[in-house]
A and B are shown apart, each in its own frame.
Chain A
């Protein structure tokens, strides 16, 4: 395929569903409640393995995914619960998966880092840094070749910035003008290594610009800013104008994984970021602009919390997979 010209997709997929500020608030509150519950369950010994929490980064998943239709694709990463929830994942099935129950998305065999939700276009969380970047680009390739009008979003952490596969995927997305968004969730750290110590160049955006991909920095703590940037990028993708690169600066409130003491971060820094908590920030704005009352917002948060709690409690009572489930789905029919 030679360098692509802009071809407008045939069926544009309209979507206005989840984009209102209150809907964004609800999504973020749900993610926060979800992660708080996961943390509690994990510390209580109910969740096997390792979990990476999305707390603090809610605005990125909520803001970007609000601009997508159910049929659009996302590729997630190891810190992926937020994306799964925002993309419409079923809370019952999500908790079931995390708790290792048979009713989970992967029969409870995958857990946090292997959640796939085809009905909602979720190409999966992954345990491999950079693993889902080409998957999203590939889904975008399908969308383009089959002219479905779908777009794909690849969410990845700053650690992926130094994986060659990200450049390879960006390059191909650019030459073929694939309908894909590369969304870097820059929370400043790889596992415990500061991005500044390992990432060359004065501006991450240059990495996308070198391939002539429109690349911009976005305040990842401001859900409205994220939504706005995503709206432009998604429209560009749907118009056949190719990929975009969004770098969302954000912070992980609970460290790399549950139990991380975070002694590699400055307390003052964390405090400063916490002041910019994306949920509280949106609440302040909505109240100030009189778009919502605090009471309304509290009610939304309470609803989110109780939905999450209910799902978590229900999941705890579910069955574990049976030995017969071990060999299931190794090969497709």
Chain B
């Protein structure tokens, strides 16, 4: 609708935080530089001024304990949104995330819930190098008990953040820094995007691309290129990799008979392998070509203008791959 307001991904998430904190006083923000400083990317700007230091908590640089405390706080009745500044630093909270947060609901047979959102910024771009560019979504997706959300559009980012905050489980909310300034329309009102519901971003008959987060945007560029060649690409954005909306993916592949799975994370043992396996197992009879994959090569992410662009698959590579799939 033309009357809808436009926001960037970053501001859309921020708006979700404002609204959820106003709605529910158990929601609080915890992390390094999230308060007075308003976040290193400006992603929590204004929350401190509005909600005060009791609910927007600046912490020491102690990721393991910050996250562990968030888990304890959630068990005791808060609904915290805890920030891990860069996705790479998730390595520091892995123990509390995997061995505590993910286990408590199950091991207590439902006695405790751990309603928290771990938000973190990932993404290759800006030459931040091998400790500030990694995408560990496959690591967390591998752990039963965690939900993993990867938004790409402003509207999704807002609606998914609201859903994540209202979810009663530990939710890892992975934001790609490179999408932060992407602008898009935001529907009015309290609109929730349910976790685990894929979105068909673009319809097409010839080939299905399955992609999350930033890869959806790159895939769209590839689809535009291919449209000029008469190739109609369908793009499915699962939006959450856990829970994964298999049905929407499979329905699309059954329609187009070809699937290309994309990821900005590493190829080896990553999510493209998982999604490709699901398609092969459950839609094999519909396929006219092997499921194809494009993802980051298995190498460190250099801090270098010339080398960094080689990491994330670009629209040309995607378009070329699809041409090959159709000619095979």
Contacts and interface: CB of A to CB of B under 8 A. Distances in A.
B57 A124 contact: no
Contacts of A331: 105, 145, 147, 168-169
A252 interface: no
Nearest to A131: B100
Given A165-B64, A165-B65, A118 B72 contact: no
Interface in A119-175: 119, 123-124, 126-128, 131-143, 145-146, 150, 152, 164-165, 168-169, 171-172, 175
A123 B112 CA distance: 8
A272 interface: no
A329 interface: yes
Contact of B108 (A124, A128, A133): A124
B126 interface: no
Interface in B12-69: 26, 28, 35, 53-55, 57-60, 62, 64-69
B72 A116 contact: no
B168 A134 contact: no
B253 to A, nearest CB: 26
B80 to A, nearest CB: 8
A145 B30 CA distance: 12
B64 A330 contact: no
Given A1-B58, A332-B113, A142 B96 contact: no
A108 to B, nearest CB: 9
Contacts of B109: 104-107, 109, 328-329
A203 interface: no
Interface size classification for chain B: 35 or more
Interface in A77-107: 104-107
A329 B106 contact: yes
Contacts, number: 164
A266 interface: no
B77 interface: yes
Nearest to A118: B111
A172 B62 CA distance: 9
Q: Which of B66, B104, B107, B147 gathers most chain A CB within 10 Å? A: B107
Contacts of B54: 1, 145
A123 B78 CA distance: 14
A110 interface: yes
A185 interface: no
Given A1-B35, A107-B109, A136-B72, A332 B53 contact: no
A166 to B, nearest CB: 8
A118 B107 CA distance: 12
A267 interface: no
B75 interface: yes
Q: Which of B55, B57, B72 gathers most chain A CB within 10 Å? A: B72
A75 B104 CA distance: 13
B53 A172 contact: no
B99 A131 contact: yes
A110 B110 CA distance: 12
A331 B143 CA distance: 12
B1 to A, nearest CB: 33
Contacts of B62: 168, 171-172
A126 B100 CA distance: 8
Given A118-B75, A331-B169, A332-B113, 9 more contacts: A124-B104, A124-B108, A135-B68, A138-B69, A138-B74, A138-B75, A165-B65, A169-B68, A171-B62
30 contacts: A1-B57, A2-B53, A73-B76, A104-B109, A106-B108, A114-B107, A128-B99, A134-B69, A134-B72, A137-B72, A138-B75, A139-B73, A139-B76, A141-B76, A141-B78, A142-B72, A142-B73, A142-B78, A143-B76, A145-B73, A146-B77, A165-B96, A168-B66, A169-B65, A169-B68, A171-B62, A171-B65, A172-B65, A329-B108, A330-B105
Q: Which A-B residue pairs are the 10 nearest by beta carbons?
A: A138-B72, A134-B68, A168-B65, A116-B108, A135-B72, A138-B69, A332-B168, A168-B62, A142-B76, A139-B76
